[in-house]
Amino acid sequence: MGVFNFFTTDIAIDLGTANTLIMHEGEVVVDQPSIVAVDRMSGEVIAVGKEAQQMHEKTHEKYKTIRPLRDGVIADFKVAEEMIREMIKMIKKKNRVFANNYRMVICIPSGITEVEKRAVRDSAEVAGAKEVYLIAEPMAAAIGIGLNVKEPTGHMIVDIGGGTTEIAVIALSGIVTDQSIRIAGDEFNDDILDYMRKQHNMLIGERSAERIKIEVGAALPDLDFPPEDIEIRGKDLMTGIPKTISVSYREVSHALNKSITKIEDAILKALENTPPELSADIYERGIHLTGGGASLRGLDIRLAEKTKLPIHVAEDPLKAVVRGTGIALKNLDEFKYLMS
């Protein structure tokens, strides 16, 4: 067994709709957008991750960019496989002592089907993995923020990613109740695109919408420490001429209101389905927010007002899931029963 481990590389992957993070030897070594640029004619991969992101919405007829994951699951099997393969090469560049046998743990949304699970497993195996284990995102997030998932105490996790928001109550090493909704970071971007089109007669791209969300995104129209307005360039829908406007966090909070309300409703539904003894634990311990969406300004305050429960935003919430996946991989014998 020791000889086998010597020639095996352990990789933990948070295969996300918006970003893919890879942990190797206890360190996040890859943090890249989940996007690939390919040649339209040959299908050859031209760029992956940040380099492909720079090309997104700027390509000509020879190239196209593809996001192989949609709503937390693989939408394009071949491109997903190429993306995983290329991102593994990024680890090799950083670490010359790297075995060709990969043992992977990949986190997946809790609500995906067996067919979708098979697609993730197959993509990893074709990319070179000899052993593949899958772990539910809420469970990985709970482990990643240091919760003891084995104890007979209820913990509620709300993981807001790029494609899905995962809501789960965890106790005794299992998910007691869960909600998985396809309202998350991508939907926030779409809300901002729609708002800019309707309110300002302005067409902007996905990258600009993402920038607005990160720099002035908010869940509340009144913040104690508001961000400054930002200048955004786009195309005037009436004239077709490029123009610049100023965008405030209040506008963004208005744009995102409907989607955030859907997340609130899903949390309330999960709480409604939680057994009473576990509800008592959650009342005492509160709700833990993870994922990139947890960084949205004022979201914790808004959820606290809606649920009347304490809300805890994880430290570095974007990496909570991959950290938990890495811990589960490092202690595989201890956590193997949590995986599929």
The C-alpha atoms of residue 19 and residue 10 are separated, in whole angstroms, by 20
Residues contacting 230, CB < 8 A, separation 6+? 211, 212, 215, 216, 246, 247
What backbone torsions phi and psi does residue 331 show, to the nearest 5 degrees? Answer: -115, 55
Using alpha carbons, select from 5, 18, 313 the residue that is nearest to residue 161.
18
The pLDDT assigned to 336 comes to: 87
Which CA distances in Å does 235 have to 187, 201, 259, 332?
21, 8, 25, 52
Which residues are paired to 33 by β-bridges?
19
Q: Which long-range contacts (CB under 8 A, 24 or more apart) does 122-128 make?
A: 122/77, 122/81, 123/74, 123/77, 123/80, 123/81, 123/84, 124/13, 124/84, 126/81, 127/81, 127/84, 127/85, 127/88, 128/85, 128/88, 128/100, 128/102
Which CA distances in Å does 98 have to 7, 81, 94, 121?
8, 20, 9, 22
- The SS3 call for residue 238 is coil
One pLDDT digit (tens) per residue for the chain, 340 residues:
444 454 568 899 999 999 999 998 889 999 999 999 999 999 899 999 999 999 999 988 999 999 999 888 889 988 999 999 899 888 876 665 555 678 899 999 888 889 989 999 998 888 888 899 999 999 999 999 999 999 999 999 999 999 999 999 999 999 999 999 999 999 999 999 999 999 999 999 999 999 999 999 999 999 999 999 999 999 999 999 999 999 999 999 999 999 999 999 999 999 999 999 999 999 999 999 999 999 999 999 999 999 999 999 999 999 999 999 999 999 988 888 888 8
The pLDDT assigned to 94 comes to: 62
Amino acid 302 reads R
Q: Name the percent of the chain in helix, strand, coil, to the closest 5.
A: 45, 30, 30
The pLDDT assigned to 2 comes to: 44
DSSP state of 82: H
The pLDDT assigned to 7 comes to: 52
The pLDDT assigned to 99 comes to: 57
Name the packing angle between helices 114-126 and 77-94 (round to 10°).
Answer: 50
The domains of the chain, with CATH numbers, are 2-141+320-338 (3.30.420.40), 154-183+260-315 (3.30.420.40), 185-255 (3.90.640.10)
The pLDDT assigned to 302 comes to: 98
Using alpha carbons, select from 278, 273, 313, 311 the residue that is nearest to residue 296.
313
Please check whether residue 287 is in contact with residue 307, taking contact to mean a CB–CB distance below 8 angstroms.
yes
The pLDDT assigned to 1 comes to: 41
